[in-house]
Structure 1
Amino acid sequence: MDNLVQSLKDGSLVPFVGMRVFENTKATDGSTLPYDSDSMILSLNSGRAMSSRLMYEYSRAAMSLEHRRGRDFIVQMTNHIYASKEYELPFTYNYFKSIQPKYMIDLNLDDSGCKVYDDVEHFMITGISRIMAANDRFVVYKYDLDSKKYSEIDKEDLNDSLPILFKPMGCMLPDRNFIISDADFVDWLTEAMGGFAMPTFLKEYKKDKSYLFLGVDFSRDTYRMVANELTLNLKDGYVVSNKEEYSKKEKNFISAHNLQLIQNSTDEFLKAL
């Protein structure tokens, strides 16, 4: 276990964090935060369930809401889910705050990943979609410790002299860019397959690394495709999950990517570290 901690610190093992790490997180008003597709749909739709076809995956439901109420509505609702509530930092992020990994991938849309590094300078890359100006589907920022703010920098200035936080699905900070609807994912994945989902530096830096998947749901094609693009040329890794059953596609993904399944909850696994 000590080797895993050191690997997280030096960047050879990359934490890859998904929505399920919010499962035990409650806001101060007693409400829960989204931790899976169903709860995200309910949050986006003011607590109301949608048709079974739309409930299949939150990106599909978000696309329906966007068609009916506009893109601004989806952006505002996604931001509202997190910005309107006060909640403690989930245990996973608190753990990583204590060791501040050299490189971390955070699929979640809130600013919890940012808080992991809020006392050190760092780089942050956030995903964007459906833009016409360029093929790149990312923006690179640098965090200034004095002002506590992010400033956009040239993508060529990214390096490993500082910790790197990669939020490929977007973030509420510093600008509200979210990959959340079907159209967002289609655009992002299309450009990702063309090599435009991350800066050139990361394309080389990520090679031959191991990954620690925490709270990531591989039961749907979308996130298997996202994970595949972000970890191309990986070495191996671990999937921590306490699900009782895994689909054939999940098992195939784990096997094809040389990942070891650790049957445990994320919190208990990290506590053991």
Structure 2
Amino acid sequence: SGTELEAEQVARTVLYAPHGSVRPAANFLVADSDYVEVLTEIDIQTPIPDAVKQRRVNRGFFFVGCRFNDQMLRTYARQLMKRSTGPHFAVIDSATLTRNERRFLAEGAITVIDMPIRNAAARLVGVDASQD
């Protein structure tokens, strides 16, 4: 629902939307100036929820629905992964990757799960993506 949980309430899986969301507070990153503001704070980790900080100590990130075709997005992702042990994964159709994205994924040791997001989402929830 977009609400930050207390540590004892956190489920096994945490969905972290680092770019923000409409709910609950309509806080989201849109312009480069938004990213610059957050990046100045992220080095000391203030914009990252405690549940994410605690979990990433011995876990990695699973990027779904993200592209890394913009320098600001790559920088932001690097900062998020900075104190994480990994492994990291990204669901991306590899045929659509740019040269910079390929380099970023290799440098970050991010394993690509090569499939369209629609198919990956369907598999995650146990649905056949070919059925509509």
> Corresponding residue for 1:264?
115
Whole-angstrom CA distance in 1 between matches of 2:102 and 2:109? 11
Q: CA deviation at 1:259?
A: 1.7
Structure 1, unaligned stretches of length 5 or more? Answer: 1-113, 115-122, 125-140, 143-157
Number of residues of Structure 1 aligned to a counterpart in Structure 2: 121
If each structure's strand is expressed as a fraction of its own residues, which one has the higher value? 1
> Which amino acid counterpart does residue 253 of structure 1 have in structure 2?
F
> Corresponding residue for 2:81?
231
> Corresponding residue for 2:91?
240
Whole-angstrom CA distance in 2 between matches of 1:244 and 1:200? 36
Q: Which structure ranks higher in relative contact order (CA pairs < 8 Å, sequence separation ≥ 6)?
A: 1
> Corresponding residue for 2:10?
162
Whole-angstrom CA distance in 1 between matches of 2:20 and 2:53? 18
After superposition, the C-alpha distances for 1:10-44 in whole angstroms (9 at most, x for unaligned) are xxxxxxxxxxxxxxxxxxxxxxxxxxxxxxxxxxx
Q: CA deviation at 1:235?
A: 1.2
> Corresponding residue for 1:172?
22
Check the 8 A contact 2:65/2:117 in 1, yes or no.
yes
| Aligned residues: CA RMSD | 2.4
Partner of 2:63, secondary structure, is strand
Cα 1:168–1:238 change in 2 (3 A) is: closer
Whole-angstrom CA distance in 2 between matches of 1:194 and 1:223? 18
Q: What's the TM-score, normalizing by structure 2?
A: 0.73
Which aligned pairs between 1:1-273 and structure 2 lie closer than 5 A?
Answer: 114=1, 124=3, 141-142=4-5, 158-163=6-11, 164-200=14-50, 202-232=52-82, 233-273=84-124
Q: What's the TM-score, normalizing by structure 1?
A: 0.39
Identity of aligned residues (%): 21
Check the 8 A contact 2:41/2:47 in 1, yes or no.
yes
Partner of 2:30, secondary structure, is coil
Structure 2, unaligned stretches of length 5 or more? Answer: 125-132
